[in-house]
Amino acid sequence: MAAQHTILLVGESNVGKTHYGAQFLKRLMVKECALKMSGAPTNLEAFTTALGCLTEGKSTDHTPASTYVESVWPIVDAAGRYAELVWPDYGGEQIRNLVTHRRIPATWRERVIGATDWVLLIRLHSLRSEDDLFSRPLQSFVATESQGEAAAAYEPSDQARIVELLQMLLYAAQYQLDRRLPKPRLTILLSCWDELDTTELPANLLASRLPMLWSFVRSNWISPAVIGLSALERALSKTDADQEYAIRGPEEFGYVILPDGSKNTDITLPIQRLMADGV
């Protein structure tokens, strides 16, 4: 029986889920990459608009909040391992709502339980870097508390929200947290890497920018992978076509920064690694 890799692709709105899906699919269809399409993919509608826009050198729209679709891509890796990759596309608000409403709808619970691998997309550039006890004098915290309204206005920091999200997903899937988890494997993709303008290793950057999240991840997973992802390589506009894109084709753009810091234009590698490690 073919291994089924159902990816729990988790990312809030605007992190790059749709563009990564479309670029990944395009690579599978036309390019030399570690993974090859080995049959007819189904349910491509989710990505056809995005593919059309990218071919013209434009970026595509935000996915409607209520949309949830899964596309199934039969793939083989270089060693001949076959898998069905189940790749979702959905409006990222659904992820934000899990945490805000502190409730996991049955549909999402099933997805969490059914997933073989978790891939979390984080766009560091659009996260707020918070003041905390280490960057602000203690008095300022006392001052806020005494204002009385602080409790009502309280909003968790971005990294606290992501930790909360992971805790909710782990709880929904009923994983025991008394020891570190080998499965589901966790891959963190730092998306839109081109915006960050850094030469740091992905894991080091995550550790320095979101230390609490990194500490949570490391204490709960045996070998989390942190990979930089630039699915587009550069910012695209929705209206002004990027000529180079249109001429060379979107598959000529995009790269990943692997955990050891090496850059590779094969954006299918984060998923190829999951297949190589076995199910």
Ligand X SMILES: Nc1nc2c(ncn2[C@@H]2O[C@H](COP(=O)(O)OP(=O)(O)OP(=O)(O)O)[C@@H](O)[C@H]2O)c(=O)[nH]1
Interface with ligand X includes 52 (CB under 6 A)?
no
CA–CA separation, 277 vs 270, rounded Å?
Answer: 11
What's the distance, Cα to Cα, between the start and end of the chain in Å? Answer: 12
Interface with ligand X includes 41 (CB under 6 A)?
no
Interface with ligand X includes 57 (CB under 6 A)?
no
Interface with ligand X includes 235 (CB under 6 A)?
yes
Please identify, among the stretches 24-32, 33-41, 131-139, 191-199, the one whose residues bind ligand X according to the rule CB under 6 A: 191-199
Interface with ligand X includes 167 (CB under 6 A)?
no
Q: Name the residue with tokens 């899937």.
A: 173
Interface with ligand X includes 236 (CB under 6 A)?
yes
CB of 129 vs Mg ion, minimal distance in Å: 25
Rg (alpha carbons) of the chain, rounded to whole number: 19
192, 206, 257, 275: residue in contact with ligand X (rule CB under 6 A): 192
Between residues 17 and 26, which has the closer beta carbon with respect to Mg ion? 17
Number of residues that bind ligand X (CB under 6 A): 22
CB of 11 vs ligand X, minimal distance in Å: 5
Interface with Mg ion includes 63 (CB under 5 A)?
yes
DSSP the chain: --EEEEEEEE--TTSSHHHHHHHHHHHHHHS--SEEE-S--B-THHHHHHHHHHHHT---PPPPTT-EEEEEEEEEETT--EEEEEEEEE-THHHHHHHHHT---HHHHHHHHH-SEEEEEE-GGGSPPPP-TTTS-HHHHHHHHHTSTHHHH----HHHHHHHHHHHHHHHTT---SS-B-SSEEEEEE--GGGT---S-HHHHHHHHSHHHHHHHHHHBSS-EEEEEESSSS---SSS--HHHHHH-GGG--EEE-TTS-EES-TTHHHHHHHHT--
- Residue 10 dihedral angles phi and psi, to the nearest 5°: -115, 125
Between residues 17 and 123, which has the closer beta carbon with respect to Mg ion? 17
CB of 94 vs ligand X, minimal distance in Å: 8
Interface with ligand X includes 16 (CB under 6 A)?
yes
Residue 188 has which token pair?
Answer: 């963190």
Interface with ligand X includes 14 (CB under 6 A)?
yes
Between residues 20 and 221, which has the closer beta carbon with respect to Mg ion? 20
Binding mask 107-146 for ligand X (x = CB under 6 A): ----------------------------------------
235 binds, among ligand X, Mg ion, none (CB under 5 to 8 A by kind): ligand X
Nearest position to ligand X, beta carbon: 92
Interface with Mg ion includes 18 (CB under 5 A)?
yes
Give the residues lining the site for ligand X (CB under 6 A).
11, 13-19, 59, 62-63, 91-92, 192, 194-195, 230-232, 234-236
Give the residues lining the site for Mg ion (CB under 5 A).
17-18, 63
